[in-house]
Amino acid sequence: MSNVISSFEDLKALEGLEVGVSDWFQITQDQIDQFADVTLDHQWIHVDVERAQKEMPGGTTIAHGYLTLSMIPAMTAGF
């Protein structure tokens, strides 16, 4: 099967199938902190580990949405 979706019909043909599965990627706090520095987005939910332990569900910081989106090329490299 081709990895190129050129039309809605191509997309519809993939309904119910597992596509685009990549290896797991670990995002470290250092990566999150560096991304915060580059984007100037230092919201505590991303960079304040101690506060996140107390106040966040799961007790950890969360990666920026744009950081995870920026990893798409790495995740799709094997397709």
Residue 31 forms part of a structural domain: yes
Q: Tell me the whole-structure pTM to 2 decimals.
A: 0.74
Domain total of the chain: 1
Residue 49 forms part of a structural domain: yes
> What's the rounded Cα separation, in Å, for the pair 25 and 78?
14
The CATH code of the domain that includes 34 is: 3.10.129.10
Contact yes or no for 52/38 (Cβ under 8 A): no
> What's the rounded Cα separation, in Å, for the pair 36 and 16?
37
pLDDT at 24: 86
Residue 27 forms part of a structural domain: yes
Residue 2 forms part of a structural domain: no
pLDDT at 22: 80
pLDDT along the chain (79 residues), means of 10: 78 89 90 98 98 97 97 80
Residue 34 forms part of a structural domain: yes
pLDDT at 63: 98
Residue 5 forms part of a structural domain: no
Residue 56 forms part of a structural domain: yes
pLDDT at 61: 98
